[in-house]
Amino acid sequence: MGRDKSRRLSGSGHFRQRLVLATLTSTAVTIVDIRSGDAAPGLRPHEVSLLRLLDKISDHHTIELNDTGMDLPPNEAEVPAGGDYRGKGP
């Protein structure tokens, strides 16, 4: 039997590590309630920049964002071994 590799997480803690590990292990991750209690809920500009970078370096990602959450479905494609990737900071 196959194991469901998807993860549902809550909050913004360890956001970068969660995304990088999910990408490297091809695990779907849904993060909800990202700063939902703050005056400015949701992702910060630097976190959106990380999502854009992960989207560029990994094939076939569909990243879904809403006000206080995000969904990173599983990625069956390999992360490319090299290349020239340029990102823009916040």
Could you read off the pLDDT tens digit of each residue along the chain, which spans 90 residues? Answer: 445 677 899 999 999 999 888 888 888 888 999 999 999 999 999 998 888 888 777 765 677 888 888 787 765 545 555 666 666 666
**How far is the C-alpha of 90 from the C-alpha of 88, rounded, in Å?**
7
Domain ranges in the chain?
A: 7-72
Which string of DSSP letters, residue by residue, matches 40-63?
A: S-S--HHHHHHHHHHHHHSTT---
The pLDDT score that the predictor gives to residue 79 is: 54
- Position 62 scores a pLDDT of 73
**Amino acid type, 17:** Q
CB-based burial label for 39 (10 Å; 0-12, 13-18, 19+): exposed
pLDDT at 26: 81
For tokens 């194991």, name the residue: 3
Q: Which of 1, 3, 33 is nearest to 15 (CA)?
A: 33
